[in-house]
Structure 1
Amino acid sequence: MSRDVSILDCNWDLCSVSASWFGYRPSLPMNATFLVIFTIAFTAHVSLALLYKTRGFGICMSIACFLEVSGYAGRVLAYTNPWSLPAFFIQINGVGLAPTFFAAGIYLCITRIVIAYGAGISRVQPKVYTYFFVLCDIISLVIQAPGGALSSVSASQGKPPTLGAYIGLSGICFQVLSLSIWLGLAVEFGLRCRKVGKEAWDPRYEKLRVSWRFKAFLAALGLATVALYVRSVYRIAELSGGYTGHLAKDEMAFCILEAVMIAILALITAAFHPGYGFGEAYGPISDQKALYPPPWKKGAFFTKDLKSEEVLIELNGQRKSFPRTEGI
C-alpha cells in the first residue's frame, strides 16, 4: 500500500490485500458455508425454544446464532471488499460477542442437572449456578462490548484497532476464568455424586437419568463446553497480538479454532436440546428450582446452610411431591 493512501481509501488498484482490515481476502466458500450453518442453527434454536418452552436457554442460543449469522454475513461481504468498514464492524462484533450468549445458555443447564441428581449433593444450592455464572457472563459482555465499539471507532479513523482489541481480550480472559470455575464446580459435583453413590441420588428422576436421551444431552453439553473453551483460549492467543497480529491474519486458524468450534456448539446443542434431553422432567425440575431462594440471601448460598423450614425447599423428598418421569 502506498504511504499516501489511507486504508479508508484503499481498493484493489491502490492497496495490497495484506493491508486490509482482515490481512487477507476472506474465503467466500468457507464463510458462506458457515453463514448457512448458523442460519440453520438459528432457525433450529428458535423452533426448539417454542416447542419445548425453554425460554432462557432458547433466548441465549437464538441471540448467539443470530450474531454469528451477522458476523459471517460481514465476512462474506468482505470477500468483495476486505477494506469495507461495515463488513469489519459486523464481523468483529457478531463473531466476537456471540460466544458470550452461548456460554450463558450452557450455564443455565447445570442447575437442572444438579436437581436431576440431587440438589442436596451439591456444595452450592442450584440457583447459584444460574445467578452467579450468568452474572459473570454479563460482566464479560460489558467488558467486550466497549472493546468492539472502540475498535469500530479506531477503524473509522483509519487507525489500527489495538486498544479495542486489548479491551475485548480482557473480557474474553474473564470469560475463560468464569468458565473454568464453572467447569471446576461441575466436575466437583460429579465427583460428589460418585462419592455418595446412586442410592443417595434423587429417586424421583431415576427414569430420567437412565434414559439414553438424557445421557446424550449430557455428552453433547460436555462437547459443547469443550468447544467453547477451545475457542475462547484461541481468541486470547489471537487478540494478544491485536487485530493486526500474526494469528489474527491466519484464516485457517480462524476456521478451525473459531468457526468450527462454535458451529459444533450451536448444532450439537440443537440436536440434543435440553428440552428433549430432560423430556417430561423439565417442568417438574423447573418447579423445584423455583422453590430455592436467590443465592444472595443470608444462608442461601451453600446447600448445607439452607433450612427447609425457612425457605420451604424439599431436599429429602418429604415436604413436596413432584411427579416421577415414567414417560421418559
Structure 2
Amino acid sequence: MVSASDFTQTCNFTIESDFCTAETCCLEQGQIHYIPTLAGNAAYAALFAILIIPNLTFGIRYKTWSFMSWLCLGLIGETVGYIGRIMLNDNIFSFNGFLMYLIPLTIAPAFITASIYLCLARVIYILDPNLMHTRLKPMTYTKIFVTFDIISLILQAAGGGLAATADDQAGSDMGINVMIAGLAFQVVSLLIFIGLCSDFAWRLYKGIVSKKMRFTVTDADTTYPPSQGLARRPTWMRRSEEVGGDSALDYTSIKTSVMFKGFIGALGVATFLILVRSSYRLAELQEGFDGELANDQLTFMILEGPMIILSCIALTAFHPGFALRRLWSMKGFQGRAGSPSAGEKLVMTSASNSAVGSRDGSREDLSAEQRAPAVGGSRYESLRA
C-alpha cells in the first residue's frame, strides 16, 4: 500500500503526470494531493452498490419505474466514482482514475434529486386532493424541478469533462467555472424546492383555502351533478368497487399511515443532506482543484459520501412503493382529462343516468356517496413519468 512518505520530496514538473511514479514525482504532482483511503472508499462503493439491489427489487415490485431509474442511476454513478478513488489509491497519477472519480461523483446526486422531485406531485395529490393549498399544479412542480436538475446535470458533466481534459490552466479554469455554475444552479434549485414545499406545508397546515377554487362542484351546481363529480375524481380517490376494481384502496388510510409520514420525512432529510453536500462541493470548487478544501480528505469523506449514503438509505427505507402502495403505478392515479379508464366510464355513465333521474324527482334514490360534493376533476394531469 502506497503512503505519502513513499513519494520523493522533490517535485519534477518536467515529467507529465501520466508518466510519474512515487520515485520520480512528488505527491503534489498527483491528480489530487493526498492518497485516498482504500478502506473508506471501498466501504462507500460497496454501500452504494448494495443499495442498488433493493431499489431495483422495490421498483419492479411496485412499478415505480421513473423513481427507480433516476435513483439507480445516481447509485451507479456514486459506485463508479468511488471505484475511481480506489484506482487513485493505487496510482495517484492515474488520469483515468481521476476522471472516474470526478465526473460521476459530481453529477450522481443530480439523478437522486430528480427521483425526489418525481415524488412531490403524488404527495400533493394525496395530502391536498382538491388542490386548494398549492400554488401550482402538482405536475408543474415536478416538470420545473426535473428540468432544472437536467440543466444542472449537463453543466456539471460538461464542466467536469472540460476541467479534466484541459491542456492548460485556462482550459481547466473554464471547466471549473462551468462546474461551479452547475453546482450553484443545483443549490439554488434545491433552496427554491425547499421553499415551495415549506410554503405548501404551511398553507396546508393553516387550512388556507385558495382564492381561485380549482374545483367548485357542489350540490347546487347544475352543470356538474354531484353524482358526476364522483366520476371526475381520479380512480385512487374512489373505492375500487365503484370503478370495477378488485380491492379497496383508501387514500385517507395511506395519508395517515406511519410509512407515508416516514416517506415525507425521508424526502425532507434526503433533500437537506444533498443540499449540504452540494454546498460543500460548491465551496470546494471555488478554490479550484489545487485549493486546500479540494485536497482535504477528512472533509471530503464526511461531507460527500455520508450525505449521499444517508439520503439513499432514507429513500430506500421509506420507499414510495411502501408509502403509496399501488398508487404510484395505478392507471386511475393519472387522472387524465378526456381519457377515462373503463371503470371511470362506467361510473360516469351511471352518474349521467342518475343525474337524469334527479330531474324527474328521483334524486332521493341516489346513494349518499353520489350526493356528496365533488372534488377533483379534469385538472388532474398524468403522473406517469
Query: Structure 1 length normalisation: TM-score?
Result: 0.84
1:19 Cα deviation from its structure 2 partner? 2.5
Q: After superposition, give the CA deviation of every residue in 1:231-283 in whole Å (9 maximum; x if it has no partner).
A: 01001100101111110001111111111101111121111111111124434
- Report the counterpart of residue 315 of structure 2 in structure 1: 269
Give the letter for the 1:287 counterpart: G
Q: Distance in 2 between matches of 1:13 and 1:50?
A: 51
Would the alpha carbon gap of residues 144 and 28 (structure 1) be closer, same or farther in structure 2, given more than 3 Å must change?
A: same
Larger mean CA deviation between 22-31 and 1-10 belongs to: 1-10
Measure how far apart 1:317 and its partner are.
2.4
2:195 is equivalent to residue 187 of structure 1? no
- Could you tell me the percent identity over the aligned residues? 32
| Separation of aligned partners in 2, 1:289 and 1:197 | 26
- Choose the corresponding residue for 1:73, options 76, 83, 88: 83
Partner letter of residue 193 of structure 1? L
- In the alignment, which residue of structure 2 is the partner of 1:308? none
Separation (CA, whole Å) in 2 of partners of 1:139 and 1:287: 31
State the distance in 2 between where 1:289 and 1:196 align: 25
Work out the CA distance in 2 between the residues paired with 1:242 and 1:263. 25
Paired residue for 2:138? 126
2:332 corresponding residue in structure 1 = 287
Give the alignment of 1:122-271 within 5 angstroms: 122-154=134-166, 157=167, 161-196=172-207, 205-271=251-317
Decide whether aligned partners of structure 1 residues 224 and 240 sit closer, same or farther in structure 2, where only a CA change above 3 A counts.
same
Aligned partner letter, 1:11:
T
Contact between 1:161 and 1:243, CA under 8 Å: does it hold in 2?
no
Q: Secondary structure at the match of 2:193?
A: helix
How far the C-alpha of 1:215 sits from its partner, in A, is 0.9
How far apart, CA to CA, are the structure 2 residues paired with 1:4 and 1:77? 24
Q: Is the 8 A contact 1:208 1:281 kept in 2?
A: no
In the TM superposition, what whole-angstrom CA distance separates every residue of 1:62-89 from its partner, at most 9, and x where no partner exists? 1000011110010011111011000000
Which one has the bigger helix percentage?
1
Q: Secondary structure at the match of 1:270?
A: helix
Give the Cα separation in 2 of the matches to 1:29 and 1:37. Answer: 12
2:67 equivalent in structure 1: 57
1:54 and 1:23 map into 2 onto residues whose CA distance is: 42
**Matched AA of 2:310:** I
Deviations 1:114-164 (A, max 9, x none): 00111332110111111111011111112112111112212xx47583321
| Pairwise CA distance, 1:15 | 1.4
User: 2: CA distance between counterparts of 1:56 and 1:245?
Assistant: 38
- Please tell me whether the aligned partners of residues 163 and 173 of structure 2 are also in contact (alpha carbons under 8 angstroms): yes
* C-alpha distance after superposition, 1:200-259 (max 9, x if no partner): xx8962211111111111111111111100001001100101111110001111111111
Distance 2:88 2:376 in 1: 62
How many residues are aligned here? 295
Q: Note if contact 1:89-1:152 (Cα within 8 Å) is conserved in structure 2.
A: yes
The 4+ residue runs of structure 1 with deviation greater than 6 A are none
Higher-Rg structure is 2
Structure 1 residue 290, shift from structure 2 partner: 4.5
Q: Select 1:27's aligned residue among 37, 42, 48.
A: 37
Q: Which of 5, 13, 28 pairs up with 1:3? A: 13
SS at match of 1:226: helix
Give 5+ residue unaligned stretches, structure 2. 1-10, 210-236, 239-249, 339-372, 381-385
The CA distance in 1 between the partners of 2:305 and 2:32, in whole Å, is 15
| Unaligned runs of at least 5 residues, structure 1 | 294-314, 323-328
Distance 2:185 2:260 in 1: 31
Change (3 A) 1:318 1:38: closer
Q: CA deviation at 1:6?
A: 2.3
- Per the normalisation by structure 2, the TM-score is 0.72
1:30 aligned partner, one-letter code:
G
Distance 2:115 2:337 in 1: 20
Contact persistence 2:183–2:282 (CA under 8 A): yes
SS in 1 for 2:117: helix
Contact 2:12–2:26 (Cα < 8 Å) also in 1: no
